[in-house]
Amino acid sequence: MGQITEMIHVASLIHDDVLDDADMRRGGAAVHALYTNKVAILAGDYLLARASILLARLQHFQVVEIMAAALDALVQGEIMQAKSKKEELSNMEHYLRKSYFKTSSLICSSCKCAALLCGFDENHSLTKAAEEYGYHLGMAFQIIDDILDFSGASASLGKPAQADMVLGLATAPILFASEDHKELIPLIQRRFKENGDVGKAVALASRTDCVEKSYALAEFHANRAIDALMRFPASEPRDALLKVVHVAITRDK
């Protein structure tokens, strides 16, 4: 299940870098920059095809259905991001829903499937706990990713700084800042398209506690993930999953 999830995840990032026109990934050249868009699309498709074969080989109908729905959610998340209406762009709830679709749904579904493959049924409290763990871990991970992009820590992420805003996207820090500085809303709604919009938005936001608020939101999700995890009996794998939450929330790259 982990291998399948990783293959889907990598496929989605190879395609994402084409969509986002991002030439760097984790300090190295993105696949499309190293080769071409055609190679990147085919590489992603190939990984997805191989992941589908492995998924079918698990011979668990419910798991196949859940993971197929997770793929659907990933694409829906990207469509939500690309097609957001003006009012949605500046709406925190819409941002969180999109984050669930594009990031958290895959982790959440994969954790749920791991429980099903262990023999627990869908309504078992541990299946629910596994699903909740994945949901909150995914949300915490994406919010931290967005904070790092915003705060310019992106150099150590191997990605250009404020890439989200350059792409026209407002994430948690800017959305929190817009609660204090309403003048940010028109900039968000026009996707930072006018000259100087990105610089103006960063300057306004840096006078607020938007980064602290975003960290608090990520920590809320991290704590909920830990609560869910603690419903499992103590074990080495549980310790490892706890470490994953810790890494997701404390990473600076």
Residues in touch with Mg ion (CB under 5 A): 16, 20
- Mask for 108-147, x = binds ligand FPP (CB under 6 A): -------------------------------------x--
For residue 163 the two structure tokens come to 């890439």
| Binder of ligand FPP out of 103, 109, 110, 127 (CB under 6 A) | 103
Minimum CB separation of residue 166 from Mg ion in Å reads 11
Residue 132: name its binding partner from ligand FPP, Mg ion, none (Cβ under 5 to 8 Å by kind): none
Per CB under 6 A, 75 contacts ligand FPP: yes
Residue 210: name its binding partner from ligand FPP, Mg ion, none (Cβ under 5 to 8 Å by kind): none
Minimum CB separation of residue 109 from Mg ion in Å reads 21
Residue 75: name its binding partner from ligand FPP, Mg ion, none (Cβ under 5 to 8 Å by kind): ligand FPP
Minimum CB separation of residue 227 from ligand FPP in Å reads 24
> Where would I find the H helices in 91-235?
92-99, 105-117, 125-150, 154-157, 163-166, 172-180, 184-189, 197-205, 210-229
- Footprint of ligand FPP on 32-61 (CB under 6 A): 44, 48
Compute the half-sphere exposure of residue 5: CA atoms within 13 Å on the CB side of its CA. 19
Whichever of 127 and 151 has its CB closer to ligand FPP, that residue is 151
Cα–Cα distance for residue pair 66/51, rounded to 1 Å? 14
Residue 48: name its binding partner from ligand FPP, Mg ion, none (Cβ under 5 to 8 Å by kind): ligand FPP
Compute the half-sphere exposure of residue 145: CA atoms within 13 Å on the CB side of its CA. 16
CB atoms within 10 A of CB 3: 10
Cα–Cα distance for residue pair 24/17, rounded to 1 Å? 8
Cα–Cα distance for residue pair 170/54, rounded to 1 Å? 37
Q: Please answer whether residues 189 and 89 qualify as being in contact, where contact means their C-beta atoms are separated by less than 8 angstroms.
A: yes
Whichever of 170 and 228 has its CB closer to Mg ion, that residue is 170
Q: Rounded to whole angstroms, what are the CA distances from 78 to 9, 20, 82, 103?
A: 13, 10, 6, 10
Q: How many binding residues for ligand FPP (CB under 6 A)?
A: 18
Residues in CB range of 2: below 8 A, 6 or more apart: 110, 114
Per CB under 6 A, 99 contacts ligand FPP: no
Per CB under 6 A, 15 contacts ligand FPP: yes
β-pairing, 24-25 vs 28-29, is antiparallel
Binding residues for ligand FPP, rule: CB under 6 A, are 8, 11-12, 15-16, 19-20, 22, 44, 48, 71, 74-75, 78, 102-103, 145, 159
